[in-house]
Amino acid sequence: MPQPGDLIEIKRRGYQHWAVDVGDGDVVHLVKDDNSSLPIYKFNRWFCGCQVKKEKLKDVAGDNEWKVNNTRDRKQAPLPAEQIVRNALSLVENTVHYRLLQYNCEHFAKELRYGQATSMQVMKLVVGAGVIVVVLAVIYVGPSTVAKAAIKGANLVFTKVGAALKAASATLKAAPKAASATLKAAPAVQKAAPAALLAISIKSTTT
Q: Could you tell me where the DSSP H helices lie in the chain? A: 57-61, 81-90, 105-114, 120-141, 143-206
Q: Which amino acid is at 71?
A: T
Q: Smallest Cα–Cα separation from 60: which of 9, 24, 132? A: 9
Specify whether 17 is catalytic.
Answer: yes
Specify whether 97 is catalytic.
Answer: no
Count Cα atoms within 13 angstroms, Cβ side, for 113.
32
Q: Smallest Cα–Cα separation from 19: which of 68, 62, 65? A: 68
Catalytic: which of 48, 50, 105, 107?
A: 105
Provide the edge-to-edge strand list for the sheet that holds 26-32.
66-68, 7-12, 15-23, 26-32, 47-56, 95-99
Q: Are 81 and 4 in contact (CB under 8 A)?
A: yes
Catalytic: which of 29, 50, 97, 107?
A: 29
Q: Smallest Cα–Cα separation from 110: which of 83, 78, 80? A: 78
Q: How many CB atoms lie within 10 A of CB 90?
A: 10
Cα–Cα distance, 101 to 47 (Å, whole number) = 9
Residues taking part in catalysis: 17, 29, 105
